[in-house]
Amino acid sequence: MNLRNPKSKLLLGPGPSNADPRVLRALSEPTIGHLDPDFVKIMDETTDLLRYVFQTANQLTIPISGTGSAGMETAIVNSIEPGDKAIICVAGVFGERMVDVAERSGAVVVRVDGPWGSIVDPEDVRKAIKENPDAKIIGIVHAETSTGVLQPLEDIASMAHENGMRIVVDAVTSLGGVKVPVDELELDFVYSGTQKCLSCPPGLAPVTVGPRALDFIKNRETKCQSWYLDLAMISRYWGSERFYHHTAPVNMIYALNEALRIIKEEGLESRWARHQLNQQALMTGLEAMGMKLVVEPDYRLPSLTTVYLPDDADDALVRSRLLKEYDIEIGAALGEFKGRVWRIGLMGTNSTKGNVVTFLAALEDVLTSVGAKINPGVGLQAASAVYR
């Protein structure tokens, strides 16, 4: 067989991000049974820590066995029944994906579209609610990974509740990097992923379920479309019954537990401030080099920055040279931005001054060598001024 020896690389793309070394060590701890009393204690601590990170008292706050996309599917299939109407907000790839999952689940989808690189306008949502008062849920992406937009939730959550609807929120790229106001806004169903700002390998999808959504799950008229993701059954395993549903990914839960411990040690507000500071330094450096940011200042996602390519820069060539020469990965764009935009992630453990400085220096070297039109020598100076 071929040797397996993956090289360590600096993952500054849209995810996964590098896992904290403590998390990798936790992965290597001895595997025990998923009903073992010692593992049950770890499960209980993990759910307590998830409530802390989600800022919620929701009892049903657990990790789903699967990546962030499994979190999305869990949220949708447990929130609707066939024929239900769902208002879905779309301003990027993951809004589109939510539409796809909802339609596959038998929902009648009403789209509310926003421009790529900007937010969904709450007034457009208000109009959709007025025209579809029988909708059961409103689905929205808090942190759109394809565009780097952080969507304000206050107005839309309020509209949903005023009109007897539940709100389903994608927080895959925001949880652990920016405030996710679950209880503050009474968000009904929020899902995330471990591989972004939690600095844990991909494989689990934390979810939290509010009282309205939980009441729906317990009293729905039809069975959940998915057996594997049916929270009515999964909750019995994570609750006091410990009723067997499926074999939990034991070592991944060790890893998530350690990742959440690290977050609590740092403190949520300190962690959010760190993400803000390092993104500000990155953005200042990029702009000083002559590059233009995609998202307006009020809606920039601290964990993921989108920037237009400079003139005469070849997207694939620059990214491949960063990877080959510096072991740095950044993300290509998706959808409407493909070939025009880079996605640069500073998530969790990776959101550091050292990574900002390293990346800006490497990017300047590569861009200069390929003849791109940039302002040499000023990016690092501008970034350093932010820290000073």
> 325-334: per-residue pLDDT in tens?
999 999 999 9
- What phi and psi values does residue 207 have, to the nearest 5 degrees? -135, 150
Q: Residue 56: pLDDT band by 50, 70, 90 thresholds?
A: very high
Query: Residue 6: its pLDDT value, please?
Result: 87
- Sheet with 331-332: list strands edge to edge: 304-308, 341-345, 331-332
Strand 137-141 versus strand 166-170 pairing type: parallel
Give me the mean pLDDT over the 199-217 stretch.
98
Beta bridge partners, 208, equal 61, 190
What does the pLDDT look like over 22-42, one tens digit per residue?
999 999 999 999 999 999 999
DSSP lists the bridge partners of residue 205 as 64
Tokens of 50: 């998830």
What is the band of 107 on the pLDDT scale with cuts at 50, 70, 90? very high
Question: Which two three-digit tokens encode residue 46?
Answer: 């993990």
Summarised one tens digit per residue, pLDDT across range 116-132 is 999 999 999 999 999 99
pLDDT of residue 375: 87
**What percent of the chain is modeled with pLDDT above 70?**
100
What is the rounded CA–CA span in Å between residue 151 and residue 65?
A: 27
Residue 285, pLDDT > 90, answer yes
Domain ranges of the chain: 21-265, 267-387
Task: Give the pLDDT of residue 376.
Answer: 86
The string of pLDDT tens digits covering residues 303-316 is 999 999 998 899 99
Total Cβ atoms within 10 A of residue 128: 19
CA distance to 10, 35, 47, 130, 180, per residue, from 119 (Å): 30, 44, 32, 20, 17
SS3 state at 270: helix
Tell me phi and psi for residue 294, to 5 degrees.
-80, -45
Residue 67 has pLDDT above 90, yes or no: yes
DSSP letters, 178-237, are B---TTTTT-SEEE--TTSTT---SSEEEEEE-HHHHHHHHH-SS--S-STT-HHHHHHH
- Per DSSP (E only), the strands in 21-176 are 60-65, 85-90, 108-113, 137-141, 143-144, 149-150, 166-170
| Residue-averaged pLDDT of the chain | 97
Q: Evaluate the CA torsion angle 258, 76, 224, 61 in order and state its sign.
A: positive
For the chain, the residue count is 388
**Rounded distance, CA 323 to CA 317, Å?**
10
Q: Average pLDDT, stretch 141-154? A: 98
State the CATH class of domain 21-265: alpha beta
Q: Which two tokens stand for residue 75?
A: 């949220």
> Where are the strands (E) in the chain, listed by range?
10-11, 60-65, 85-90, 108-113, 137-141, 143-144, 149-150, 166-170, 189-191, 204-209, 304-308, 328-329, 331-332, 341-345
Give dist(CA 97, CA 94) in Å, integer.
5
**171 vs 146, 255, 318, CA distance in Å?**
13, 20, 30
Report helix, strand or coil for 87.
strand
Position 4 scores a pLDDT of: 85
CATH architecture of 267-387: Alpha-Beta Complex (3.90)
